[in-house]
């Protein structure tokens, strides 16, 4: 296929040959050059909210998408366009990758780390299982997942027609990448989800190593308006809460995500028990998906911090036992289980069972909770409805944000270091984005786009 730009170049040459007046030629040529250098960004999803991240990057020769997510709590989501040459997946969270099965016909190249590929594949298979269980007629099956796997390029540098793509470690979760796109003489840097601080198992993003002065920085703004407390203090506070409930011989529910947060939490508790920071207690994880992902973690140690890499099987825990169902729990215990928002699975079951007793506690470590999620209702209103029954929550519900997202301080640090000409704030509620926009307005021009907005770079 001949790119449109080649036709425009040919046209400009014919015009040059037929023109004797240089000034007229220059005006026409400049206009054509401008046209040739067109690089448009289209916000398909994830603007002024968290969920369904997808940004189109379009030139005359190439059309790609940065992330291809789903809005988890949306019943009839609008389908994203499918006519992309390539799709870059920043990391395996479904709000960045969950619509991929819709590309199984169009079969674009999918770019992302090997860890992102392996985990995304598992999450997509799990999504199909959940949909089938719900009895919904789901148009996708395991064959479509296989197509996605086959079209995946797990490399850090990729060349496409008139475009080059490079990936940099983002922190956040294992395998997460920051994407650098170069095309038409312009540079775009897309953070996906990222964090600068190190966690127990993962190094934060080294922002000094990111390309400088891009024409456009597209960044998440989940915590655009928030400065988090020192992480070590938060971890101390978390252990305090565990000790308090252990003293009362209560049960502790820690709803978490099967990918990364579950392994990070197990490692944190396992290590603390080994070191005598918290007393020995029964600790369980319940999630087959988490177990499978833990296997990937043990086999791909290169994604983690040096001290983790030095351990033979870093995610084989001494004090944490894997269970297949909640009936196997020997109380009192600490249980780390899915779903992270407490809206399904073992989390919802145990939230209902343990939530009514004041000796128990529920510890939420995610910063964001969907407003209508049982966990959020348990925390805010001390009650929620389950199977048409009102559950009164007596257990302590504590939110300790051991999040993998950059907070306002880290976001400003990024903008300060990278010095972009323009910054687009996405993946954050409007108030968060607006607060951050004020903080970085002197460093960069800031845009908080709306859905479907087109921005010319
Ligand atoms: Zn994420």
Nearest-angstrom CA–CA distance, 340 and 48: 22
Please measure the distance between the N-terminal and C-terminal CA atoms of the chain and give it in whole angstroms: 25
- With cut-offs at 50, 70 and 90, classify the pLDDT of residue 1: very low
Region 240-251 average pLDDT: 98
The verdict on whether omega for the bond into residue 332 sits within 30 degrees of 0, i.e. cis, is: yes
Structure tokens at 426: 């996405």
Share the mean pLDDT of the chain. Answer: 91
Q: What is the pLDDT of residue 27?
A: 64
Over the stretch 182-230, which tens digit does the pLDDT of each residue have? 999 999 999 999 999 999 999 999 999 999 999 999 999 999 999 999 9
- Interval between CA 93 and ligand 1 midpoint (Å): 5
Nearest-angstrom CA–CA distance, 75 and 73: 6
* DSSP string for residues in 161-219: TTEEEEEEE--SSTT-EEEEEEETTEEEEE--S--SS--SS-PPP-GGGSPSS-SEEEE
- Interval between CA 405 and ligand 1 midpoint (Å): 8
- Interval between CA 300 and ligand 1 midpoint (Å): 19
Region 79-104 average pLDDT: 96
Name 56's bridge partners: 42, 65
- Interval between CA 177 and ligand 1 midpoint (Å): 11
Tokens 């029964």 belong to residue: 282
- Interval between CA 172 and ligand 1 midpoint (Å): 7
- Interval between CA 73 and ligand 1 midpoint (Å): 16
Which CATH number fits the domain 231-399, given the four candidates 3.40.50.10890, 3.40.50.2300, 3.40.190.10, 3.40.50.1240? 3.40.50.10890
- Interval between CA 193 and ligand 1 midpoint (Å): 5
Burial class (CB in 10 A: 0-12, 13-18, 19+), 157: exposed
Structure tokens at 164: 């080059």
Assess whether pLDDT exceeds 50 at residue 3. no
SS (HEC) of 327-386: HHCCCCEEEEECCCCCCCHHHHHHHHHHCCCCCCEEEECCCCCCCCCHHHHHHHCCEEEE
Assess whether pLDDT exceeds 90 at residue 91. yes
Region 420-424 average pLDDT: 97
Over the stretch 366-406, which tens digit does the pLDDT of each residue have? 877 888 889 999 999 999 999 899 999 999 999 998 989 99
Q: What is the pLDDT of residue 37?
A: 64
Assess whether pLDDT exceeds 50 at residue 2. no
Assess whether pLDDT exceeds 70 at residue 313. yes
Q: What does the angle CA 189 – CA 178 – CA 33 come to, to the nearest 5 degrees?
A: 25
Strands in 333-337's sheet, in edge-to-edge order, are 320-323, 282-286, 333-337, 252-255, 361-364, 396-399
- Interval between CA 403 and ligand 1 midpoint (Å): 10
Assess whether pLDDT exceeds 60 at residue 12. no
- Interval between CA 427 and ligand 1 midpoint (Å): 10
- Interval between CA 272 and ligand 1 midpoint (Å): 26
- Interval between CA 92 and ligand 1 midpoint (Å): 7
Region 59-63 average pLDDT: 94
- Interval between CA 353 and ligand 1 midpoint (Å): 29
Q: What is the pLDDT of residue 366?
A: 83
Assess whether pLDDT exceeds 60 at residue 255. yes
Region 6-27 average pLDDT: 54
Q: What share of the chain has pLDDT > 70, as a percent?
A: 91
- Interval between CA 78 and ligand 1 midpoint (Å): 21
Q: What is the pLDDT of residue 93?
A: 95
Domain ranges of the chain: 4-36, 40-226+404-456, 231-399
Question: Can you say how many angstroms the Cα of residue 111 is from the centroid of all Cα atoms in its chain?
Answer: 15
Assess whether pLDDT exceeds 90 at residue 66. yes
Nearest-angstrom CA–CA distance, 217 and 186: 11
- Interval between CA 236 and ligand 1 midpoint (Å): 24
- Interval between CA 97 and ligand 1 midpoint (Å): 10
* DSSP string for residues in 256-285: --TTTHHHHHHHHHHHHHHTTSS---EEEE
- Interval between CA 36 and ligand 1 midpoint (Å): 35
The pTM of the whole model exceeds 0.85: yes
Over the stretch 320-348, which tens digit does the pLDDT of each residue have? 999 999 999 999 999 999 887 888 889 99
Ramachandran quadrant class, 9 (left: phi over 0; alpha: psi -120 to 50; beta: rest): alpha
- Interval between CA 253 and ligand 1 midpoint (Å): 22
Question: Can you say how many angstroms the Cα of residue 287 is from the centroid of all Cα atoms in its chain?
Answer: 20
Assess whether pLDDT exceeds 70 at residue 137. no
Q: Which architecture does CATH list for 40-226+404-456?
A: 4-Layer Sandwich (3.60)
Burial class (CB in 10 A: 0-12, 13-18, 19+), 271: middle
Burial class (CB in 10 A: 0-12, 13-18, 19+), 344: middle
Over the stretch 18-56, which tens digit does the pLDDT of each residue have? 545 556 655 655 555 455 568 999 999 999 988 899 999
List of residues 6+ apart from 410 with CB closer than 8 A: 195, 196, 197
Burial class (CB in 10 A: 0-12, 13-18, 19+), 173: buried
**CB of 242 closer than 8 Å to CB of 251:** no
């Amino acid at each position: 296929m001949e790119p449109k730009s080649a036709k425009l170049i040919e046209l400009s040459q014919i015009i040059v040959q037929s023109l004797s007046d240089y000034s007229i030629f220059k005006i026409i040529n400049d206009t054509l050059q401008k046209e040739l250098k067109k690089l448009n960004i289209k916000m398909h999803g994830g603007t002024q909210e968290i969920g369904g991240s997808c940004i189109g990057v379009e030139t005359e020769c190439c059309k790609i998408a940065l992330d291809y997510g789903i809005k988890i709590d949306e019943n009839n989501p609008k389908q994203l366009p499918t006519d992309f040459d390539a799709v870059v997946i920043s990391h395996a969270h479904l709000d960045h990758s969950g619509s991929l099965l819709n590309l199984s016909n169009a079969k674009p190249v999918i770019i992302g780390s090997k860890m992102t590929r392996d985990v995304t594949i598992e999450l997509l298979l799990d999504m199909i299982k959940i949909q089938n269980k719900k009895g919904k007629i789901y148009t996708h099956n395991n064959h479509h997942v296989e197509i996605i796997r086959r079209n995946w390029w797990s490399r850090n540098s990729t060349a496409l027609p008139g475009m080059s793509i490079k990936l940099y470690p983002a922190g956040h979760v294992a395998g997460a990448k920051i994407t650098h796109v170069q095309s038409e003489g312009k540079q775009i840097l897309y953070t996906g989800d990222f964090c600068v601080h190190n966690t127990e198992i993962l190094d934060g993003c080294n922002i000094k190593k990111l390309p400088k002065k891009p024409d456009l920085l597209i960044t998440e703004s989940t915590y655009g308006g928030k400065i988090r407390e020192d992480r070590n203090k938060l971890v101390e506070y978390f252990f305090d809460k565990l000790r308090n409930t252990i003293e009362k011989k209560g049960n502790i529910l820690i709803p978490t995500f099967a990918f990364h947060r579950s392994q990070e939490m197990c490692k944190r508790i396992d290590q603390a028990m080994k070191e005598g920071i918290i007393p020995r207690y029964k600790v369980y994880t319940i999630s087959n998906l988490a177990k499978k992902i833990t296997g990937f973690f043990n086999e791909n140690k290169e994604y983690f911090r040096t001290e983790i890499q030095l351990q033979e099987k870093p995610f084989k825990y001494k004090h944490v036992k894997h269970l297949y169902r909640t009936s196997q729990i020997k109380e009192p215990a600490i249980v780390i289980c899915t779903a992270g928002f407490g809206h399904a699975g073992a989390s919802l079951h145990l939230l209902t069972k343990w939530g009514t007793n004041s000796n128990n506690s529920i510890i939420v470590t995610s910063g964001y909770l969907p407003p209508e999620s049982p966990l959020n209702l348990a925390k805010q209103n001390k009650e929620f409805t389950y199977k048409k029954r009102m559950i009164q929550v007596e257990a302590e519900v504590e939110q300790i944000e051991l999040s993998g997202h950059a907070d306002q301080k880290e976001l400003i640090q990024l903008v300060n270091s990278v010095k972009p000409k323009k910054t687009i704030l996405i993946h954050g509620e409007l108030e968060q984005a607006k607060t951050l926009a004020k903080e970085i307005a002197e460093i960069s021009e800031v845009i908080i786009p709306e859905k479907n907005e087109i921005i010319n770079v």
